[in-house]
Structure 1
């Protein structure tokens, strides 16, 4: 699959969060298969996440390990978002921005420096670095094109909570230029955006990062045309160019036995025991419950969810994230006393990281209760299961809306502090694993489409090839004009 003329050297710079790093590393895997040479920038404590990729491609992937910069709001020794509370994005981004000068020095002293930078959506400042180096910067978006369409509008126009009317959390914000002209209440907009303080130096830099994404040379999405063609077409018109590549769904390959199971961390139950338990369940009978690597439920939410699972009568796997930094001890992530005994044999509770891709691929799983993080959405689609949506923050409300648009999602709750109705949850979970249903049929149709686009001749396969050819063939001079080689 190597393209003639390859060997082009690219710098890949992930944002240190599980949901951002893993899909960008999966993209990196595909770029190496197409003949590119990659240097991945990481800080020391994130290096272990790269180990499977480095062992698979020892000659094509190198690492640039830079010390994690100190920041007053990031505890010493913390280098990954998973160890921080949800509201720490500005601190993490500000800390990483300090890598500008060391990275610039590395580029200028390298005997054969990269000819382009591919960096995460949260690292917009790398666009300015790329301009200094007269090379292109490509945004990697781990979020949907639907969400990026919304966020581009917000950061250009910057309505604020302090402005008239925006003090009401339910005040409607309309997006007439976005496909479908969606309207969202203020509280459902990105938490990062709602936290923006006009005139605050740190937040003005955050805004500049998003505007730098818009100004960057191109953007690669972990998505596919058959799912988001309306939004991808909109962005091409909105940004004024066609350097938009839908290269997803980016998932570990089926023939790599380590990739699905060694991507996250430790948990309370071995992967072997989880898969053995699933092997004993009937096809499409199990509800999988997981809210990603960041969300931690308050105990009242835990109790309502447990009650819903108990009274639904379904088999289930529930992945529980326990309290971390910033959570009051004993108030979050506690499984109700006696619950596991009462559902013994019918359900598994996993504390810690879950091998989600492997679980969803297992034949016994019939539905997925999710926070609608984009990776989880794509993994559910590829698994061909209906999704029970509980969006909480970030891009999740846009993702839940998209799931409804394409006919595979049912919203069962919303908001990070809402306590769900346990009876509603129980009914939705029972119906989600029923033998018949339009959501199940539509999920299987979308699964077929998702698996088709990554095969040779599929839309994402073609976009990956186009992306690589663009990187190889295009020479950029930033300024008043663009020179195409």
Structure 2
């Protein structure tokens, strides 16, 4: 019988999307897979798992545990960080997933008696359970090798403590390239003791005891950093990305009128026909897509500067704004832009992959989430980077080093989804848009680099490519461990 692998995704779309894709790949390659999550998170990918099982005959299923909404004082259905309107509720969701569900998750995993656990990094306690069950545990890290190396070198060498101000640039020792940062761009937990910092330490300690660490990345995207990462961590780092390329090749069921985000089923997108029709009327590679992820909240002052800059840049664009932001000044900004006729405004959620795939899209202004970067690069879309929080400043530095993007935005790290850094002027934003979207020397160089990267990423996911080889080797390693444990 094939080895049985249990997957535990975290309740945040960027984490959940990638880990479920890995689960589907494992099932496709013959492993038995069980994904454990909460009911409303399961709805996001239930239809895809059903197709995998019923149409393609893959051994994959979902088990759910009730989310402790009553204990946390939350309404039913708030189980993912994308559905949280503020930091306080996001904190409750995190606490419920990581802490309150630990005991029920442990009990379910013991009952399932799997041969392997693959968990999101934040479920660091699974390493203790794996040791108890005498099975391997693999940690999933939803960030790049480069980011992990930067964080390690910042902890190891503390170059940010050797400058006189937050605005002074310094070079980070120990990396393969000369990477400069400001102290204001570094995560808080690397500069002082925080709750998240304690959690990161637990994650790092658990990784050191794990059998290996899985990343949605490609060695050709960040050359040399997989090897540096393994040297730093002392654990094998499996690079199995970009995952979307593998999933696209494996899915043989045509999705004619279904709406997907990173190959996930999602609720009906009410503006789909209007937006796609509008894009059809635009010239190829002429439209800038502006989206800062599913959770970011800008101030109305910053939104106004963004909208005015886009209007003055005089190129067509699709702009995604959050529903919470669509009031007062937000409404007047929308009315002004709609009169312009060169834009399409999406309120709330947007199917990023569908829009990025359209022939009219010629650029992407993004907050630099790792999933967004991979989605854009696999589709050949150059970027304007506006990092805001988490590891996004490291991602922006990598893209800049590789010549794949133009940088804009503040040089101040934010502690959460609510953006509190100083407002960026419309002039600075307009300049970045024109540099990418007009026929400038910078634009030509970046587009040539992106085109080359598309070829590299595709080759990595082909049979015999670096990511494909790592994926197969990872599956074989799980089979080997299961066989050894059974004899």
Q: Secondary structure at the match of 1:413?
A: coil
**Alpha-carbon distance in 1 for matches of 2:75, 2:129:** 27
Match of 1:430 among 428, 434, 441: 434
Change (3 A) 1:103 1:247: same
Q: Which residue of 2 aligns with 1:132?
A: 132
Which of residues 374, 380, 384 is equivalent to 1:378? 374
Distance 1:442 1:299 in 2: 35
Q: State the partner residue of 2:204.
A: 210
- What residue is the counterpart of 2:280 in the other structure? 279
Aligned to 1:177: 174
For residues 387 and 379 of structure 1, what CA distance do their matches in structure 2 show?
11
Q: CA deviation at 1:102?
A: 2.0
Whole-Å Cα distance in 2 between the matches of residues 127 and 332 of structure 1?
49
Relative to structure 1, the CA distance from residue 245 to residue 50 in structure 2 (aligned partners, 3 Å threshold; closer, same or farther) is: same
| Equivalence for 1:63 | 62
2:159/2:171 contact within 8 Å kept: no
The alpha-carbon distance between structure 1 residues 425 and 160, as it changes in their structure 2 partners (threshold 3 A), is closer
* TM-score, length basis structure 1: 0.85
SS in 2 for 1:420: coil
Offset of residue 358 of structure 1: 1.4
**Secondary structure of residue in 2 paired with 1:176:** coil
Aligned counterpart, 1:396: 392
- Output one character per residue of 1:147-169: Cα deviation in whole Å (capped at 9) or x when no partner: 12233456x669799xx889964
Q: How many residues align?
A: 461
What residue in structure 1 maps to residue 415 of structure 2? none
CA distance in 1, matches of 2:483, 2:87: 37
Distance in 2 separating the partners of 1:94 and 1:313: 45
Alpha-carbon separation, structure 1, partners of 2:10 and 2:200: 14
SS in 1 for 2:138: strand
Residue 442 (str. 1) matches residue 435 (str. 2): no
Q: Give the 5 Å matches for 1:22-421.
A: 22-58=17-53, 60-69=59-68, 75-77=74-76, 78-84=78-84, 85-86=86-87, 91-95=92-96, 96-110=98-112, 113-153=113-153, 169-170=166-167, 175-180=172-177, 182-191=179-188, 193=190, 196-197=193-194, 204-241=198-235, 243-251=236-244, 252-253=247-248, 256-257=254-255, 258=258, 260-261=260-261, 263=264, 265=266, 269-323=270-324, 336=333, 338-344=335-341, 346-414=342-410, 415=412, 416=419, 417-421=421-425
For 2:217 and 2:402, the matched residues in 1 are separated by: 14
> What's the offset of the Cα at 1:467?
0.9
User: 3-state DSSP class of the match of 2:118?
Assistant: strand
The 10-residue stretch of structure 1 (121-130 or 372-381) with the greater mean CA deviation from structure 2: 121-130
CA change 1:244–1:265 in 2 (3 A) is: same
Which 10-residue stretch deviates more, 461-470 or 205-214? Answer: 205-214
Q: Deviations over 1:86-142 (max 9, x none)?
A: 5777654433233332233223333xx211111112222222222222211111121
* 8 Å Cα contact 1:134/1:476 also seen in 2: no
- State whether residues 289 and 368 of structure 1, in contact with CA within 8 Å, keep that contact through their aligned partners in structure 2: yes
What TM-score results when the alignment is normalised by the length of structure 2?
0.85
What is the CA–CA distance in structure 1 between the aligned matches of 2:153 and 2:71, rounded to whole Å?
31
Taking the aligned partners of 2:362 and 2:238, their CA distance within structure 1 comes to 31
**1:234 to partner: Cα distance:** 0.5
Contact 1:174/1:182 (<8 A) preserved: yes
Taking a change above 3 Å as real, the CA distance of residues 30 and 337 of structure 1, as seen in their structure-2 partners, is closer
1:226-254 Cα shifts (integer Å, max 9, x gaps): 1112211101111224x221111111517
Whole-Å separation in 2 of the counterparts to 1:389 and 1:72? 39
Deviation at 1:218, TM superposition (A): 0.7
Q: 1:7 aligns with which of 2, 10, 29?
A: 2
Between stretches 262-271 and 30-39, larger displacement belongs to: 262-271
Indicate conservation of the 8 Å contact 1:298/1:333, yes or no. Answer: no
Counterpart contact for 1:138–1:218, Cα < 8 Å: yes
In 2, distance between residues paired with 1:364 and 1:413?
Answer: 25
Q: Select the structure that is richer in helix.
A: 2
Q: Distance in 2 between matches of 1:476 and 1:204?
A: 36
Residue 283 of structure 1 deviates from its aligned partner by 1.0
